[in-house]
Chain A
């Protein structure tokens, strides 16, 4: 058993890392939905970024081609962009005054 232990551990590690690398369609769908929701929030703040839209489109294109790793990565990037646009819109609600000519 003691000899088998390292083998089992490495098998588990390999299995774990493989599942972390290969994204499934479900992973993509979840990431895409999160990105879309964040972008919708940015729209409500009247501050969407063009790059969020193009990254979302790239995610969809990769998913249509069956590359869910790439699709999930793009969807996550789109979510990060959308969240940055939300942060920008929120912080600018008061920060714009710093730039005003007085």
Chain B
């Protein structure tokens, strides 16, 4: 090799070597849900040192004293009560074939809300409570309910009520597909979308307690423990599916179909990182 041609070759090799050393290889992205949940909960307890861990499930009411007082008064005659009663009646009423929801769930569906969503290893996917309820209906020859309307909210309200106070207990089985679903849910949660370029975290991690127009934003920690919710803004009840789809459209993103994989996964992630916090649903929100 002549000297003139060897010089550029050597300098290119040197540049590559410098780059290789200058840019440290990123740490291997191992998925560690236990570590994630710990960091997630610490983030919120550090950010709001006055709020007790279990109080985060009360959403905006945990962020603001005035709102908290209003909520305590509201709980005397809670606006979700009608829905809860309807749910109780629906849940125990037999289907046309004589069976009922009780036949589809462990412990006849009582006190099990905290275990949903779960990863179904047979199906290889996350199964939410709303999905399980509709599957129960269809398996018994009944038409599925809309995921965003009153009947589904009433059923989940009743099931949540029977689990009140029980700590969220989401499991990730030793199955790479479960870990993948969890990771995809996390990705969905932090991914910016819509013309407003917001992710779920923009509001519920970066800005809880802040106002967005007239609303006080809820912290992401424990946000699903209160579902379903009666929202004064909606003048009615809303399911988790309704919450996800309206969040999407509010940031000018076209919502996906309720119970699409993305929504199931984000529910899995968000519920897992709230493990240990009590179920408080059905909830009421401004």
Contact = CB atoms under 8 A, between A and B. Distances in A.
Nearest to B250: A50
A89 B193 contact: yes
Contacts of A89: 193
Contacts of A84: 195
Interface in A71-93: 81, 84-85, 88-89, 92
A10 B39 CA distance: 70
Interface string A33-76: 00000000001001111110100000000000000000000000
B190 A53 contact: no
B245 to A, nearest CB: 12
A43 B53 CA distance: 39
Interface residues of B, number: 25
A88 B194 CA distance: 9
B192 interface: yes
Contact of B186 (A43, A49, A100): A100
Contact of A49 (B43, B202, B206, B253): B253
Given A99-B199, A100-B186, A101-B40, A51 B252 contact: yes
A96 B252 contact: no
Interface residues of A, number: 21
A46 B190 contact: no
A95 to B, nearest CB: 8
B43 to A, nearest CB: 5
B39 A92 contact: no
A49 B194 contact: yes
Contact of A46 (B29, B43, B195, B256): B256
Interface string B252-263: 111010000010
A49 B252 contact: yes
A97 interface: yes
A51 B249 CA distance: 10
A102 interface: yes
The residue in B187, B195, B262 that gathers the most chain A C-beta atoms within 10 A of its C-beta is: B195
B195 A50 contact: yes
A81 B199 CA distance: 18
Contacts of B256: 46
Contacts of B249: 50
B254 A96 contact: no
Interface of B: 29, 36, 39-40, 43, 186-187, 190-195, 197, 199, 201-202, 205-206, 249, 252-254, 256, 262
The 5 closest A-B pairs by CB, nearest first: A48-B254, A96-B190, A96-B191, A99-B190, A49-B195
Given A48-B254, A49-B195, 16 more contacts: A46-B256, A47-B193, A47-B253, A50-B195, A51-B195, A53-B254, A81-B195, A88-B193, A95-B192, A96-B190, A96-B192, A97-B190, A99-B206, A100-B186, A101-B39, A101-B40
13 contacts: A48-B253, A49-B194, A49-B195, A50-B194, A50-B249, A51-B195, A92-B193, A96-B187, A96-B190, A96-B191, A97-B29, A100-B186, A100-B190
